[in-house]
Structure formats: C-alpha cells, structure tokens
Chains A and B, each alone.
Chain A
Amino acid sequence: MRFLRRALVALGVTGLIAAVLRLRGTGGVPPQSGGWRELSGPDLR
C-alpha cells in the first residue's frame, strides 16, 4: 500500500514538473528594430 502511494506521488510530481516545463517561458526574443512594409508597385513587377 505504502509503495503504491509513493509511486502515485512520484508520478504526480513528475507530471507536474513536466507540465510546468512544457507551458512556461517563451520561444525567443522579438526583433529589436524594423517593421513590416506592404509590397507594392516595384515589389510586384
């Protein structure tokens, strides 16, 4: 019984850590300068 309880706790803690690692943080740094310019005229000839 005690073994089963410990196994379940271990699985739960592992799952919690995996969920936190999977969901937190971001994937990088946004551009530091510049921006978007619509393609027009000479860009489409």
Chain B
Amino acid sequence: MRIAVLGAGAVGARTARQLASTDAVESVQVADAIGRRAESVADAIDDRSRVRAVPYDSWADGADVVVLCHPGGDHGALAEGFVQAGVSVVSVSDDVDDVQALLALDGAARRAEVSVVAGAGFAPGLTDVLAAHAAAQFDGVDEVHVAKVGTGGPACARAHHGALAGEATDWRDGVWQHRRAGTGRELCWFPDPVRAQDCYRAAAPDALLLVPAFPGVSRVTARVAANRRDRLTARLPMLRPPHPEGGIGAIRVELRGRRGPVREVVVFGVMDRPAVAAGAVAALAAVEAGAGRLRRAGAAGLAELVEPVPFLAELARRGVKAAVFEGSAPGL
C-alpha cells in the first residue's frame, strides 16, 4: 500500500519511520508546509526506495491512505476531499472541532466505503484502544475516565495550553455536559516513572469518540495533567515558545462496569514519549485501514474501528507497551 503523511513534526516524523519499518507498506511520501522539514525526515530514515519527500501541493497523489499529522484546525475539511476521492484518512488531531468535523463524515465515508480514523494518536487514540480492550472484560461498561500527561511537539504543547482555557465536554447520564476547563482537580496515578499527577478537565475530544463506542455508558470524562503555572497562565498567550519535543508522558484509562452481579474497575496505562507512541498508533491505524482490516467503513475513533488485542500486541512489538494497575486505590 502507498501511504502519504502530511506534517513532518514530532509525530509526523515518527509516523513515517514506523510506516517505513512495515513490510506491507510499498511507499511513504512525506510533505510539510516547510519543505525542508519533510526532506530532513526522508533523509533521516534513509530508505530512498520507499520513503521520499514530496511537494506540499501534490502530497497525497497516488496514496491509498493519507495520515494527517500537521497541526489541527483543518483536518475535517481536508478529510472531506479525500473521502470524496475514495481515499481513507487517519487524523492525529486532538482538536475538538477537528474531531467533530471528522465524525460528521461518517455517512459520506460509509457510502464511499472508506475509513476516517479520528483521533489516532496517544490521547485520544491509544486511550481508545485500551478502553476497548478493558471493555471486553465487562458484561456492561458504566464509566470511562481518561487522563493524559505530557505533550509531543510544539503543536501539541500549544493544543495542551489552549485546552486548559477552553470548555470541557463530558458525558453524564445520557447528556453532554460542558464545564470550564482547568477545573475538577483529580489526582491520577500513571505508570512509573510518571506516577501521581494532578489532572483537570480540558477541551479534549475523548468523550466524543468513546461514547459511540460504548452504548449505554453513563459517564465519560477526560482530564489532562497540569501544573500551577499551566493553570495560572492558561488564558494568556504562551509565555515561552514551546519545546521541540516534550519528555516522557503517560496515559491512563479507567473503566468501571459490571461483570455478572459484581461492579468492577479496570485501569490500563502506557508510559512513553507522546510523539513516539502517537506515531506508532497513527502508522498502525493507517496500515489497518490500507489492509481493509478495520471493523467497518465510516468515521469513528479507534475504540470502534480496531480489534484491540492484535493492535496492542503489534504496538508492544514496536516498543509501545501497555500496563494494567493491580492493587487497591481509593474509590476502587
């Protein structure tokens, strides 16, 4: 299969590298609004027979699947054109408007028999796969709570900054609830060495992707970790330019549900560099879409579209390893 990647930042570079190491991928074409960034990514992978930088204005020519790794804002509009052209789309955007626009393409994508994978990064993305894996252990899922710490590249850091100043969208008892981001502090326990972090409501699209995947679920929430400076300055412009790439990050997915007559809790997590994990998830989602192994055509998140066990096994083979929390915690 031929795959085109738009965006040669921290996530796009990792996505291209992961695709280049996949036997089923014949060619990877990388493009960026700043052309030399795409060239440096292609040069760094150094597999010229399969990976090449292409011009920005013709970046997706001939591709079977396109992966949108550039900063969010126009992923929905771009994806619409590809759906009409019969090309499957994978988007890593965690922008709420992008995810809503992508999910709105469900009908058109089903008619065109192509897939639009929304939120195929670290969180949302890997969180959705973990939620689907955990759900298999229950007869019914009542609650899903997602938390994330860390950022990938500069675009991700800007999105994190903006998310703390926006409006959080949670699902509670069958209705959407909108609350101020930066509120609702909760201490979340992530895999070592990240451990305990205070997390807050944020303008994150996780609930939009998880609610359709778990019919009957009563609560879905998403939080991001933030320090005092993040919260104090959330409504201001970023005081310092964002770093080229953040350090170690982590995700945590907590499911509460019923197994027989018993109410139980399962907590999964992953610790990794967010851009590295997001690149692996996006690449694998693109390969699944290109191979026709997604559960259905249409637009949805990974919780609805992939078989979680083989997906997590392949991610583990690529070095992105999930963990389960075993023990007692407050409220468990």
Contact = CB atoms under 8 A, between A and B. Distances in A.
Interface of A: 19, 22-23, 25-40, 43-45
Nearest to A34: B327
A28 B330 contact: yes
Interface string B292-332: 00000000000000000100110010000111111111100
B151 to A, nearest CB: 20
B327 A33 contact: yes
A44 B186 CA distance: 30
A30 B327 contact: no
Secondary structure call for the A interface: loop
Contact of A32 (B198, B228, B316, B328): B328
B192 A23 contact: no
A36 B192 CA distance: 8
B323 A38 contact: yes
A43 B231 CA distance: 38
- Max chain B C-beta neighbours (<10 A), residue from A28, A29, A36: A36
B330 A29 contact: yes
B225 to A, nearest CB: 10
Enumerate the 6 nearest inter-chain pairs by beta-carbon distance, A residue then B residue, closest first: A34-B327, A27-B185, A28-B187, A31-B329, A36-B323, A27-B187
B316 A44 contact: yes
Given A26-B185, A26-B187, A27-B199, A34 B326 contact: yes
Nearest to A24: B228
B245 to A, nearest CB: 24
A41 B330 CA distance: 29
B232 interface: yes
A38 B327 contact: no
Given A34-B326, A34-B328, A26 B198 contact: yes
